[in-house]
Amino acid sequence: MKTIKGPAVFLAQFAGDQAPFNTLDGICKWASDLGYKGIQIPVWESRFIDIDKAATSKTYCDELKGKVQSYGLEITELSTHLQGQLVAVHPAYDLMFDNFAPNDCKNNPKKRTEWAVDQVKKSAIASKHLGINAHATFSGALLWHTMYPWPQRPAGLVEMGFEELAKRWLPILDVFEENGVDVCYEIHPGEDLHDGVTFERFLEATGNHKRVNILYDPSHFVLQQLDYLKFIDYYHEHIKMFHVKDAEFIPSGKSGVYGGYQNWEDRPGRFRSLGDGQVDFKSIFSKLTKYNCDVWAVMEWECCIKSSEQGAREGAPFIQKHIIEAVGKSFDDFAGAEIDKEQLKSILGL
């Protein structure tokens, strides 16, 4: 068994225009002072990483890695959640998702997709340069608007949707294969990969591509009312990344899983800071350790009640408390003895 690494923090929700969150040095010192040992870097934050340089210069990556290490931290993974989303966008979402793209790609879905694909491919090369073997992203979605089947979906629609999604991702996955990096899709509502069944559909559509893997975040399963512990039993071989994020689901007589278009604080399902929700992290850490999942425990802060500052302060000790130092021997080894085949036969009455 492997001991889960951590605690680490995903920087996406903390990056900002004010110090210490507007420079890599500033945010590294902040994270280190709070007790974190790793940072997960979103590549769209050019204040923290120049992904074009990272994909073309090993020297740049060595310097970047050295700077992070000077604060007692490691770069756990890179993230292209926003770019991955843009690999597959249904036209109904074009206007809103244009916000994720550069100005010269807006109102031009074809150019926007080409830019996103290029960004994700560059992140594969950058990950290799940084000595990282896993990458975080979203799958994007062509079918999400048909998630609740009314009117009924035409026969063959789902199959065609996953075939097209796989067609778009296969050239990207091949680049990750060339660079020895796993693509870890965050299983997330709004994506075509939003539960175990859809992950299986995509995996099959890619010909069981070895780089198709999972970023496990239990909070999204709480909001879907999916068994997040049983999910680990089914898919532990594919879990190569771990977001530690809490959530709760408290249905009412007025709204349920779909949330009634309400603000986050009023929805039955909502994200919470670590320890404030319903996620059974003790069981999660136990299962991931039992299954030998070689992952970083990366806090992702998204809470509709508690401040990000308090959430970040509480996150590192919360994760540290849950990390299990994997056992190196069985507790009853002291009672064992050398193997004696004749003795074994005797015990069996043979």
Q: Give the pLDDT of residue 331.
A: 58
Residue 216, helix vs strand vs coil: strand
Q: What percent of the chain has pLDDT over 70?
A: 98
Taking each helix axis as running N to C, give the angle between helix 157-178 and helix 196-205, from 0 to 180 degrees, rounded to the nearest 10. 70
Nearest to 128 by CA among 173, 78, 170, 63: 78
What pLDDT, on the 0 to 100 scale, is given for residue 1? Answer: 87
Domain total in the chain: 1
What range defines the domain where residue 214 resides? 5-347
State how far the alpha carbon of 69 is from the alpha carbons of 37, 64, 239, in Å: 9, 9, 26
Summarised one tens digit per residue, pLDDT across range 135-171 is 999 999 999 999 999 999 999 999 999 999 999 999 9
CATH number at residue 267: 3.20.20.150
* Torsion angle (degrees, nearest 10) of CA 70, 71, 73, 75: -70
**Considering all CA atoms of the chain, what is the largest pairwise distance in Å, rounded to the nearest integer?**
80
Q: What is the mean pLDDT of each run of 10 residues along the chain (350 residues)?
A: 96 97 98 98 98 98 98 98 98 96 97 98 98 98 96 97 98 98 98 98 98 98 98 98 98 96 97 98 98 98 97 98 86 70 92
Q: Which strand (E) or helix (H) includes residue 247?
A: strand 246-249
What does the alpha-carbon distance between residue 204 and residue 207 come to, in Å, rounded to a whole number?
Answer: 5
H, E, C per residue of 31-95: HHHCCCCEEEEECCCCCCCCHHHHHHCHHHHHHHHHHHHCCCCEEEEEEEHHHHHCCCECHHHHH
CB 4 within 8 A of CB 289: yes
Identify the three-state secondary structure at position 226.
coil
Alpha-carbon distance of 82 to 106, in angstroms, equals 14
